[in-house]
Structure formats: structure tokens, C-alpha cells
Chain A
């Protein structure tokens, strides 16, 4: 019971406050940024020289302000927003009016989660295992070569990396499409569909796994090199424990802890972290959707995506804090 009173309750209050402040900030920041979603839409319509007369534009401005729900005072809009957050109905997207934000999320979220979560997990596992082993055997030649190669790959700008992959595998050796997925509105699950999805997602996934993996590799290698020098590893070795067992049970397991924190946070980046990759490969991801929303002053869409993002990240950080003592027995909740 002391745990509940001294730790759990304050931690939950902190959680609620983080979510509250985050959502409030996301509500107010765009509204003060000097961009008017109604005017952005007018600009879009006029950009290609579409002909509308002044009377039409004036009535359109009125209608849009009404439809976008931007008529009332800021406080009224703020309260409406909270009602929407609790009902998970974020209203229509402004820029993609009248498509509801919820529908956009339904279309884009599976693609992003499918690609991003898979490749993040894959890169985390590969990066940590390879990095861990390379760290343990850091004296060996192969470890040094691998380290050097990864060191050079890591700083390559993602855009360049993606375009080079495209040139290689979509042009010089055209195995994969240069952009987009060829799925129609009536999706029939069959073999061709699966192949199409795999082909369309392969290059973005490859670049995410490599570009993400090298970061995990470097971090893990440093951590392992550190843990390796701990006394208990030394004792184990002196005590004649098999090397394989030392690597996996003693060293990797211990070095893994900080990496788990990082993984949770990395997964939270699903909403904006892979924008460039989505762009280069014309992938229907949520990062691109959010970015377009931000640049067009699409308050509802921005709100919908960020509320999801805030809940996901705040909740996973909370769970992590609660579960940490289970993973590392040396830590107690205080």
C-alpha cells in the first residue's frame, strides 16, 4: 500500500498532467502561429488559377469558417476540442475537407505501424545483438572493420541514403517500384496483394532498418564495452563460465536495460520520425500526413495525430517506469 500512496498515485497524476499540458500546447501553438487555415485553403484553390469571383470567395470564407468550427471564441473551441478528444472524433480535416480525421487515421495508421514498428523492432534487435557481440569482442579485427563501416554509414543524410537506394534498386536494377503502392479501393487479400505490399515496403523498410540499426549498434557496443569491464563479468570468467553464456546472460542482458528505455521512446517517434523516408519512397505514412497538416494549418488533423502520439508516448513511458524494477532488481520505487 505504501507503493500505491507514495509512488503510483503521484506518478499517475504526473501522467495526467503531461497529457493535459501536451494537448493544451498542441491546441494553442498552431492558433498563434499566424497561419489561417481558411486562407490557406483559398490560396490552394487560387494557386492554379482556378476562377472564382470575389463574391464567391467571400461566401466561401464564411462557409469554411463555419464548417471548420472556427467561429466561436478560443475558449469554446478549446472545450469542443476536449469533448472531441474524449469521443475520439476529431472532426473533419481542414485541408482534406470533408474527410474526417478519424478516417484518415484509419487509412494511414496501419501502413505506418506495419512498416515502422516492424522495422524499428528489427533494427533494434539486429543492432543490439550485432552491436553487443561486436562490443564484447571489440579487440577483434572484424569488430573493428564493422565498427568503421557503420561509423561511415550512420552520418549519411537519410534523404541521400533513400535516393541512392532508389537509384540502385528502382532504376539501375529495377526490382522495386519508384514510388507508391498499387493497391485499389477494393482490397482483395491474395498472393499478388501481399507481393505488392512487400515490394512497395521493402526499400523504405530496408533504409529504416539500416539507418536505425547503425544507431543501436553504436550505442550497444559502447554499453557492452562498459559492462564487460564490470567485476561480475571478470568473476564469471575466472569462475569458468562459458563465454557464450557470459556474452548473452551476463553482458548483453545488463547492457540491454538502457536500450529498452530508448526503444519505447523510439517507437513513440512513429508519428513524425520517418517523414523523410516516407517522402522519398512516396509511402502513405502518418509522418507525411502530419507534416502536410502542420504546413497547411490543419488544426483538427494535427490535433488528431498528436493526441494519439501524446497518449502513446506518455503511456509507454509510464509503463516503463512501473515495469523497470522488474527488469532491474537493483532499482526500487521510492
Chain B
């Protein structure tokens, strides 16, 4: 709780937290939606925002606001599955590979390179076809996680490589500290900002990828996500027909989500960074 109070003193954390809480609230609201997210022609079509439909209605006869609650929920599911799973793998692989080096390093990096060299679209399209159906939410998340770790594992590994050569590693090793202690006490604080920044990058990437997949028609377009909502708005020319409430909703939500994540991560990683802490305490 102490930590939270300290964090909230940073306006970026406060704002990011409030936005994120708001979006999470929207996602929870979807469970109370009066409409079925998949059914069409439930409300009059193409109506601008009004009291009965606060964000208007779309050309499919759905309420934009309630669709958006499902969209944000589903996109969060995809992005979190992709982001968190791939972070766990990336951190493990990056640390192991960077610290242990040798054959293990070569095997792990070989794997990572193997994933990096194959164009992603090829695999995504093929997997969608193999599954004999378009991608569901969980499948999309897993697939993105599977491809999302390689790049960042390399980044983390190079950070570890550089840390390994520094004085404090030798000091720590010489003073008889175990590997675990070294890694958790010395390396983790140094790499946390990096891990956090790769996390937001990865979530941003996952959300962006989901949008690209939706625009290419590779995910199940009936299930509302930020990507599919956008895809339908594009298909029905919402932008050029002046249905701004329809196209702006997924765009705004995407921006809000990523802004919140960005500020949260920047603020948290600064908080966790041992050097800034000293500065902060010193300043008080």
C-alpha cells in the first residue's frame, strides 16, 4: 500500500492508472450488456450518439458503446495472453542465454533466430487454415505469444551480456553470492525497466497485430475486438460516410489503452529502478 501511495505521487502513474481502471471497468461492463455482441439489427442503424445509444449505432444494427465494451475485453484477453506469456519466455531465455552462454546460449538463440527469420504472416495465415476455421481469441493470443518472445529475448540477453562484464558481477561472485541471488538482486533491478518497456512494446505489438490480422480478415470477424470493430467500420466506410462515432471508438480506445500502459510502465520502472529511488528519497 505504501508503494501505491508513493507511485500515485507521480502524475503519470495516477493518470495511467485511472485510464486503465476505466478501460477495465468497461471490459467488466460487457458482462452486463443488454445486447448480444454477435447479433445484428438489434437497434436502428447508423444513428449518431444520443441518450439511448451514448456512442450511437453502427451499420450492422449494433450499439457502438456496448460493442466497444466487448471489444476492449476481448482485445485485453488477446494482448495479455500474448504479452505475459511471451514476457515469461523472453525473460527466462534472455537471462539463461546471456548468463550461461555457451551451447545453451547457441541453442536458445538459434531457436529465437529460427522464429525471427520466417515471415510472420506466412505462419499466421497457414495456422488459420490448418485450424480449419478462423482464429479464436485464445488461439490468436497464443500464436502471438509464440512469436512475440524471440525479439525481446535477444534484447534482454544483450543487456545481461553487458551486465555480466561489469564490476559488480565480479564483486558479487567473489563475495560468494549464488547465481539466483545475483540474478534477482543485481540483474533484475537493472533489467526491470527494459522488461517493462518490452512489455508495453509487446502489448502494443499484439494489439497492433490483432488489428492487422482483423483487417486482413484472418481472425473471426464476428467476435468484437478492437481490430474487428475497426475492420467493420472500415468495410462499411464509416470514415468517409461520416459515421465518426463508429470508427473513432476503437481508435480512441486503442490509444487510451496504450497511453495508459505506457505511462504505467514508465512510472513503475522508474519506481523500481534503485538509482532513482535514492534520488527520490534524497529529494524528500
Contacts and interface: CB of A to CB of B under 8 A. Distances in A.
Direct contact of A and B (CB under 8 A): yes
A313 B122 contact: no
Nearest to B126: A33
Nearest to A280: B215
Contact of B132 (A29, A34, A163, A222): A34
Given A272-B120, A306-B122, A156 B113 contact: no
A55 B215 CA distance: 39
A119 B277 CA distance: 39
A136 to B, nearest CB: 15
A11 B102 contact: no
A191 B17 CA distance: 55
A14 B111 CA distance: 10
Contacts of A290: 119, 121-122
Interface string B245-284: 0010001001101110011001001100101100100000
Interface string B163-199: 0011000000000000000000000000001100100
B166 A317 contact: no
B110 A265 contact: no
B76 interface: no
B121 A291 contact: yes
Interface stretch (A176-184, A198-206, A254-262): A254-262
Contacts of A159: 211-212, 215, 230, 234
A30 interface: yes
A126 to B, nearest CB: 18
Contact of A157 (B130, B159, B162, B251): B251
B257 A155 contact: yes
Given A22-B114, A29-B122, A334-B102, A155 B155 contact: no
A151 B155 CA distance: 22
A317 B154 CA distance: 10
A157 B211 contact: yes
A163 to B, nearest CB: 7
B129 interface: yes
Nearest to A317: B113
A101 B193 CA distance: 45
A10 B263 CA distance: 42
Given A219-B201, A268-B116, A262 B155 contact: yes
Which of B103, B114, B230, B257 has the largest count of A CB atoms less than 10 A from its CB? B114
Which of B109, B113, B120, B208 has the largest count of A CB atoms less than 10 A from its CB? B113
Interface residues on A, range: 35 or more
Nearest to B218: A295
B189 to A, nearest CB: 11
A207 interface: no
Nearest to B270: A225
Nearest to A266: B151
Given A33-B130, A294-B126, A10 B117 contact: no
Nearest to A334: B101
A267 B266 CA distance: 27
Contacts of A157: 208, 211, 215, 230, 251, 254
Contacts of A229: 273, 275-276, 279
Nearest to A332: B165
B212 A160 contact: no
A35 B126 CA distance: 9
Given A158-B208, A229-B275, A29 B151 contact: no
B158 interface: yes
B117 A314 contact: yes
Contact of B155 (A218, A258, A295, A314): A258
B239 A155 contact: no
Contact of B119 (A167, A295, A306): A306
Contacts of A10: 103, 106
A330 B162 contact: yes
B125 interface: yes
Contacts of A26: 118, 122
Contact of B204 (A14, A154, A160, A334): A154
Given A152-B255, A152-B259, A21 B114 contact: yes
B204 A261 contact: no
A82 B257 CA distance: 46
Interface string A283-294: 000000011001
B88 interface: no
A305 interface: yes
B207 interface: yes
B123 interface: yes
Given A33-B130, A219-B197, A313-B116, A156 B251 contact: yes
A66 interface: no
B161 interface: yes
Contacts of B162: 257, 328, 330-331
A261 B166 CA distance: 20
Contacts of A154: 204, 258, 262
A4 interface: no
B272 to A, nearest CB: 12
A282 to B, nearest CB: 15
14 contacts: A26-B122, A34-B129, A155-B258, A156-B254, A158-B212, A159-B234, A160-B234, A258-B158, A258-B159, A261-B155, A294-B125, A317-B113, A331-B161, A334-B101
Interface of A: 10-11, 14, 17-19, 21-22, 25-26, 29-30, 32-35, 151-152, 154-160, 163, 167, 215, 218-219, 222, 225-226, 229, 257-258, 261-262, 265, 268, 271-272, 275-276, 290-291, 294-295, 302, 305-306, 309-310, 313-314, 317, 324, 328, 330-332, 334
Given A25-B114, A32-B130, 5 more contacts: A159-B230, A229-B276, A265-B151, A290-B122, A330-B162
